[in-house]
């Protein structure tokens, strides 16, 4: 291997995973580069080989077939915000993509695949994907496998491992009649969140019949919050306090970093979670009133 980094631009998934299998862990996959290049610039990451997957057609495009939305790993945040299929079937994802930091510049180049593979606890898209219970199509030399997103989430920030390539994200539409909320608590406009929460809520009249709630940016790993004990109840301030308490309990090891210290993060996780559920319910009421 050369002392200088090398570059490869595979034209197919097979070529890319062949390269990954044959190279050491010093090879990195680059798509939009928005996660990777800051680390390369600072010298904290010194790849031996850049495997540029931007030329692989199979990683592009958004289509809807047999009730499943298939989103190519190279889909950038700006496409998620504006795509009609995503807007219709996964409005929660479209909204959280619009809240990614860094401005249009990052939204124009950052990809859903890079966002997932980075496994960065502060990122915006992952809580929504976990709330939506998406599956991932992942390729390696032995072929393509489909895995639940929840099963590949790690707290190592090492993504999928050194020999796999994320090909597509598969999502079922948000349940009909459900409502959603996404809340990001941040100190300044473009900043990372100090806590964020994605909620998908189903109502039966005034009562909460199902709540799927994911809290991010407060701990190394996303937390799915068990809210089975509030199902069947109508929204009240008391239910809100119960949600906050459930989050504080679930976040046993809060992050403590530039985004805020541990105890505050734990508290804010509860606040954003309550607000996300409230946002969902309010949107339903507005729709009903309209």
Partner 1 sequence: MEDLLHMSALIQLRIDGELHELEVLPNATLLDVLRDEVGKKGTHMGCRTGHCGACTVMIDGKVAKSCITLAASLPRATITTIEGLQQDGEMGPIQQAFWDEAGLQCGYCAPGILLSTAELLADNHQPSAAEVDQALAGNLCRCTGYQSIKRAVHSACVRMYPDQETGIEEG
SS3 content of the chain, % helix, strand, coil (to 5): 40, 30, 35
- Using CB under 8 A as the binding rule, whether residue 47 contacts partner 1 is answered as yes
Burial of residue 14 (number of CB atoms within 10 Å: 0-12, 13-18, 19+): middle
- Which of 14, 26, 54, 283 is in the footprint of partner 1 by CB under 8 A? 54
Residue ranges of alpha helices (H) inside 169-236 are: none
List, in sequence order, every residue forming a beta bridge with 120; answer none if it has no partner: none
| Stretch in the footprint of partner 1 (CB under 8 A) among 7-15, 171-179, 239-247, 260-268 | 7-15
Minimum CB separation of residue 78 from partner 1 in Å reads 7
List, in sequence order, every residue forming a beta bridge with 198; answer none if it has no partner: 182, 214
Contact 30, 53 (CB under 8 A): yes
- Which of 190, 209, 241, 263 is in the footprint of partner 1 by CB under 8 A? 190
- Using CB under 8 A as the binding rule, whether residue 173 contacts partner 1 is answered as no
- Using CB under 8 A as the binding rule, whether residue 165 contacts partner 1 is answered as no
- Using CB under 8 A as the binding rule, whether residue 151 contacts partner 1 is answered as no
Q: Which CB, 77 or 266, lies closer to partner 1?
A: 77
Q: What is the DSSP string of 62-107?
A: EEEETTEEEEETT-BHHHHHH-HHHHHH-HHHHHHHHT-SSHHHHH
Q: Which CB, 53 or 227, lies closer to partner 1?
A: 53
Q: Which CB, 177 or 190, lies closer to partner 1?
A: 190
- Using CB under 8 A as the binding rule, whether residue 106 contacts partner 1 is answered as yes
- Using CB under 8 A as the binding rule, whether residue 52 contacts partner 1 is answered as yes
- Using CB under 8 A as the binding rule, whether residue 50 contacts partner 1 is answered as yes
């Amino acid at each position: 291997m050369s002392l200088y980094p090398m570059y490869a631009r595979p034209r197919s998934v097979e070529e890319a995973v062949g390269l990954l299998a044959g190279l050491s862990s010093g090879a990195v996959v680059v798509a939009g580069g928005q996660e990777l290049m800051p680390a390369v610039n600072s010298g904290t990451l010194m790849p031996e080989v850049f495997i540029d997957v931007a030329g692989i057609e199979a990683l592009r495009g958004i289509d809807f077939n047999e009730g499943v939305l298939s989103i190519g790993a190279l889909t950038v945040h700006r496409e998620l915000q504006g795509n009609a299929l995503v807007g219709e079937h996964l409005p929660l994802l479209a909204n959280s993509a619009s809240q990614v930091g860094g401005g249009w510049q990052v939204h124009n180049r950052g990809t859903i695949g890079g966002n997932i593979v980075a496994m960065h606890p502060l990122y915006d898209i992952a809580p929504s994907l976990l709330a939506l219970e998406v599956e991932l199509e992942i390729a390696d030399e032995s072929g393509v496998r489909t895995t639940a997103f929840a099963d590949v989430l790690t707290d190592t920030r090492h993504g999928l491992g050194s020999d796999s390539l994320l090909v597509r994200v598969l999502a079922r539409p948000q349940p009909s009649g459900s409502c959603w909320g996404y809340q990001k608590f941040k100190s300044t406009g473009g900043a990372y969140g100090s806590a964020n929460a994605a909620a998908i809520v189903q109502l039966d009249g005034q009562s909460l019949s199902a709540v799927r709630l994911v809290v991010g940016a407060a701990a190394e790993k996303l937390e799915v919050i068990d809210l089975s004990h509030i199902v069947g109840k109508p929204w009240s301030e008391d239910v809100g306090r119960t949600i906050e308490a459930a989050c504080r309990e679930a976040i046993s090891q809060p992050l403590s970093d530039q985004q805020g210290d541990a105890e505050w993060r734990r508290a804010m996780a509860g606040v954003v979670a309550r607000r996300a559920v409230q946002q969902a319910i309010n949107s339903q009421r507005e729709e009903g009133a309209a």
